[in-house]
Amino acid sequence: MVNASVNLETHNMLALMLLLFCGILPHSTHATNNTTLLQDQSDDWSMIMEVEVEDPNAADIKQKKLAKVGLDATPCGDILCLNRAKCLMAADKHGPYKCVCQIGFSGTHCEQTNSGFRFPKIEEGGYLKFIFPFGQDLASSALMDINVFHIGFEIKPDLTNGRRLIVYHRSKRDERSFMLNLELGHLVFRFTEPILLPQEADSSNVIDELRHSQPLIASSQWYSVEFGRQTDGRLYLSLNKNIVKGDESKAFKKAWPQRPKSRTRDPKEEDIFIGGHSNLELLRTQDPYFGRYLEENFVGCIQHIYINGEFMDPRRRSFVGDAVEGYGLTDCAHGICDQNRCKNNGTCAIISGSSFECQCPMGTKGLNCQNREELHMLQYTGRSYTEYFGFKGTSQSNMMLLITFKPVSPNGLLLYQGYSHDRRGDFLTVLLVQSHIEVQFDLGSGTANLRSPSVLMMNTWHTVRFWLNGRQGFLVVDNEDQVTTAFSYGPLVQLTLDQHMFIGSHPDADLTSAHLNDYLRKVGGGNVPGFHGCIQQLQLNGQSVDLLRDALRGVNMENCLGHPCARPDTTCMHSSHCRPEGEDFTCVCFLGYVGKKCDTPISTTRLNRPSFGRRSILRYGSPDVITKLNMPHFDIYLDIRLRSTKLRTVTHPNFWNGEQMGRRFQTLLACLTTADDRLLIGIDEQGSTHLFIDRQTVPWFKQIHGSLEEAGSNQTSEKGWEGNDGPKKLVLSVNMWHKMMLKRRGNTYLLFVNGTKIGVERSDRLGYGKLSYNMLSIGNVNANHQGVETKPKRGSFSTQSPDVLFVGFNGCIENLHINGRQLSTAEATSGESIAEC
């Protein structure tokens, strides 16, 4: 439809209504070229047609396929407003008409959908409506009696003329009302409630008013606004931290006794309007107290809305947002990132209605990610995170995690991993809340929450351990004797996770579990509050995660400069690795160097009796060794001397009786395959030697009546420790030499100690004819620099049982042979922390 003259207004309106009845969207010179997306309320009243409309102002005639129009369309002058939009008439009734779109829609006709705006701009005729939250702090009866409330936000007004409504609330329960106006550039806060005047049976209302002297200038800057009622009954109004308080003698509580109020509060009856009102014109005549102060709605940007300590998300979507109604909203942050000024593949992230920050990839830093920095030990800034596979793609009833960190701030997210992007399903998170550790998990039928009783000291290293056994979770912080435990609700007993694991924060609160809403409201301001501090260790199911090498990506990471390991070149010599141990460190020396700082060279050709510790390992991967490992028959022989069978205690709750226990094995020898399957010789704390087959492609070991069996449905013919000839149990004496031999005969593996057969294992999967061995490890299993086994590839940590862990061999070896050929220390492909025995 073309623009009509005033004389043809009636004719055009009839034509418009006819088009509406037929389901045809009239063409307008105001229309955009964006894709049309409309709500379809009734298929009976909608149709799609190809129409050709002539516009005398256009250079040509075009055909355009028009969308469905339903009964939610509203005629508005010479245009049509769709999707329940409102029609805004110019103040002088002679100017152009305008569609005021409801929240979630935009465009000249409100024909486009949008996902909502975190930083909305309220246009003429616009507003936001929320349910008035009372907050946890207002739950006590004392505070309810005096109706304490606090509201805060930031605004950037476009217009300051006249009287413009910013906040309006009227309680249907007790007729308590308040409003915040912008009047001729100044903030005015008014409050009223029913009171009993002395010697009067009926109630009356007294209006109290606070006016701030500081003016607001249109479109110049953001203003921080706070107002409310204190516990002493006094009103207050703050603009940019400049506070004005009401007269103490006028505090309602102290001046008059209050009308008794019901303790029951129905949230559905308590609404609060921000930026305007749904029917401002009607309110002018019906509000007996504030009606004369109501003229127009606020026009401008608003952000960071808090009501009674809870953040209000100004969006309304299926799984996010707190707004229950809204009109006339646009994006205050539109175009901020159109010109990305971030360098080195940094990404622009909008953080307010007028500002952005560059999210710098790991190894870069600076305001625009313009500087390079080599990372050695990670520090999280509160706006940074790292991402890992974690438990992705797993469904477990038993799992364990350990994290060692030094916090600078009392609040922040340490770890999060979820199931889906729609805020539903299983999740696991570790939070720092007011200096307490909280662990939350959901198996799909209800959330469990564990909170540590102790308060963590800032700038101090702490270790958190969490175990999951079915529906029950266990939490231990540092070396506390007390174990915090809780159960999840419902019958489900497996934690199923399909998202990546995030450490330090999460890039998008919309993709976290809805059960985190309370935490995000109180602490995060709509974003995930990031952890601020350093992290030096993360273990998942007993396997250590290399926070740097295993990271899929990271944002805004820095070095933990207060720790010696953040300067490894000056702390550990000869490219050795610096391993943090709280505030201290240990240098993990490469083969050929020893000493506190790995500054003393040793000759590997003369190293006939290598000494091993928890972080020691020798790897043999030469073609000759690999060929011999993959022959149908091999004999591996070596002499060993145990320094100790005792291992550093790492306890966890016994899932059957609540006691503390741990199962650990020293790794003497491991044959590894390309698929990460492993054949291992382990020594327990009693000095008994065991032969293991560890298949990484199926669930690993489970605990059954104190013995180890292979779990999973894809079991082969392994039979634990049993063999045809009845292997005997033999205990190794400490500080004495023992002879060890591993024999392979086809797919049968036999272990002998001092000439006595100890174990027999048979596998139709490992080695010859199936999978190929590619490494012989002595003293450890793919040890990382922390001396705990780690998988050589990045992937989910799903295969290790939380109650079984392999650690480094503590002792000496000599006379290592394979098929009669001696392997010297100098022939090792690589090694760490090897000294002379």
Q: Does domain 120-331 have CATH number 2.60.120.10?
A: no
Which of 586, 619, 545 is CA-nearest to residue 780?
Answer: 619
Q: What is the 3-state secondary structure (H, E, C) of 55-109?
A: CCCCCCCCEEECCCCCCCCEEECCEEECCCCEEECCCCCCCCCEEECECCEECCC
Going 340 to 341 to 343 to 348, the CA torsion angle's sign is negative
Q: What are residue 303's DSSP bridge partners?
A: 154
Residue 543 has a pLDDT of 83
Encoded amino acid at 112, one letter: Q
**Which CATH number, 2.60.120.200, 3.30.200.20, 3.30.70.20, 3.30.565.10, labels domain 603-836?**
2.60.120.200
Which tokens in the block code for residue 380? Answer: 């999280």
Residue 539 has a pLDDT of 92
* 619-637 residue pLDDT tens: 999 999 999 999 999 999 9
The contacts of residue 795 (CB under 8 Å, 6+ apart) are 389
Alpha-carbon distances of 753 from 611, 637, 756, rounded to whole Å: 20, 10, 5
CATH topology match: 120-331 vs 603-836:
yes
* 357-367 residue pLDDT tens: 999 999 999 99
Cα–Cα distance between 373 and 371 in angstroms, integer?
Answer: 7
Are the C-beta atoms of residues 511 and 418 closer than 8 Å to each other? Answer: yes
Residue 653 has a pLDDT of 62
* 129-157 residue pLDDT tens: 999 987 554 444 444 445 789 999 999 99
Cα–Cα distance between 94 and 513 in angstroms, integer?
Answer: 51
Q: Would you identify the CATH topology of the domain 335-371?
A: Laminin (2.10.25)
Q: Decide: helix, strand or coil at residue 248.
A: helix
Cα–Cα distance between 837 and 833 in angstroms, integer?
Answer: 12
Q: What are residue 31's DSSP bridge partners?
A: none
Architecture of domain 378-562: Sandwich (2.60)
The residue to which tokens 């990670």 are assigned: 378
Residue 792 has a pLDDT of 37
Which strand (E) or helix (H) includes residue 282? helix 280-286
DSSP 675: T
CA 578 to chain centroid: 29
Question: Domain residues of the chain, as ranges?
Answer: 6-113, 120-331, 335-371, 378-562, 603-836
Residue 672 has a pLDDT of 85
Residues of the chain with pLDDT below 70 are 1-71, 91-95, 135-146, 195-204, 249-269, 520-527, 648-663, 676, 694-728, 764-771, 782-804
